[in-house]
Amino acid sequence: MQLSLSLRRITAALCCTALSICCLTACEHKQVTLDSGAGAEQIEAQIPQSDHLVNFTMPEIGEDIVVMTIRDYGDVKIRLFPDQTEKGAENFKKLVESGFYDELKFHRIADGFVIQGGDPRGDGNGGQDAWGSKEGFAQTVSPNLCHFTGAVGYAIGEDKLNKSQFYFVTGEMQTDETLAEYRKMGCAFSPAAEALYKQIGGVPYLDGGYEIFGQIFDGMEYVLEIQKNPADAQERPQKAVVIEKAVVTQYDGTPPHYLTAEGNAFTPESSTQ
């Protein structure tokens, strides 16, 4: 299922109150995924947003970042937010350092929504946390992090526990009209969040339901290219998209760049200062 932020799609979503907040069930396994329809239950999971949004604050020189090399595409650089989601950031960092993500595939591609990976089974039913538990650990949802394009969060099952599966938000550009429709469904946006959703895009109705622990600050163009890969009806890519390697390294001060959901050049600092 693909996300579409047309009014027809949003109106239809109002009738879909039976949609799962966090997961879909496949056979006897708990499928870890994200719901690409905005059901009423999803909206009710929201927490108040802060005006102090930190998605686009840049790492300091010497700060640990994650560089994920995606085969045939390039390096995606991620800033982590341990001050906002301490255990979530630590889990991802430890998994990267252990080599857990190396050679894993992105098993889900939903154009205009997310790309999802981190499952060694490759079907959305697997994963474990950095401490070897397949049960996972509780979410920490920060009001200072939103689902703007480039946000990095944990995909969870109906148990709402974080493990190794993660997603990169691609999202779509928001307008006054689409944000107004979400308000009718119960969403509330801080002025800062509203401005960025209109400027950069994202998936607003996921806010409050999933833990964001990082933000892509360089290489977003590769993610936007990946989301254009053909996928089947279950959003499984027809061509393998593989994480060649992921490493933790220190940010060296190289000027980052960020692309909007429409592919235009964008300077993150200009929107937050």
Question: What total number of domains does the chain contain?
Answer: 1
Query: According to the model, what pLDDT value does residue 206 have?
Result: 93
CATH number of the domain encompassing residue 122: 2.40.100.10
Residue 122 has which token pair?
């490759």
**Is residue 2 a part of any domain in this protein?**
no
Give the Cα separation of 109 and 114 in Å (integer).
Answer: 6
Angle at 81 between CA 79 and CA 86, to 5 degrees: 140
> What pLDDT is stored for residue 205 in this prediction?
92
Is 85 contained in some domain?
Answer: yes
Q: How far apart are CA 105 and CA 39, in angstroms?
A: 29
Convert the pLDDT of each residue in 13-31 to its tens digit: 333 322 222 332 222 333 4
Between the alpha carbon of residue 83 and those of residues 113, 185, 196, the distances in Å are: 26, 31, 22
Does residue 199 sit in helix, strand or coil? Answer: helix
- Is residue 258 situated within a structural domain? no
Q: Is residue 7 part of a domain?
A: no
User: In the prediction, which pLDDT does 188 show?
Assistant: 87
Q: Which residues of 137-164 are buried (b: 16+ CB within 10 A; e: fewer)?
A: bebbbbbbbbbbbbbbbbbbbeebbbbb
Q: How confident is the model at residue 52, as a pLDDT?
A: 87
CA distance 209 to 47: 8
Q: Which residues contact 180 (CB under 8 A, 6 or more apart)?
A: none
The continuous run of DSSP H or E covering 214 comes out as strand 212-218
On whether residue 157 sits in a domain, the answer given is: yes
In a domain? residue 238? yes
CA distance 46 to 239: 35
Task: Give me the domain span that covers residue 198.
Answer: 38-252
- Residue 243 belongs to some domain of the structure: yes
Q: What letter does residue 206 receive in the DSSP assignment?
A: G
Along the 273 residues of the chain, how does pLDDT read in single tens digits? 222 333 433 433 333 322 222 332 222 333 454 656 544 444 444 555 667 899 988 899 999 999 999 999 999 999 999 999 999 999 999 999 999 999 999 999 999 999 999 999 999 999 999 999 999 999 999 999 999 999 999 999 989 999 999 999 999 999 999 999 999 988 889 999 999 999 999 999 999 999 999 999 999 999 999 999 999 999 999 999 999 999 999 999 988 876 544 445 554 444 444
Sole residue written with tokens 């592919």? 263
- 30 within a domain of the structure (yes/no): no
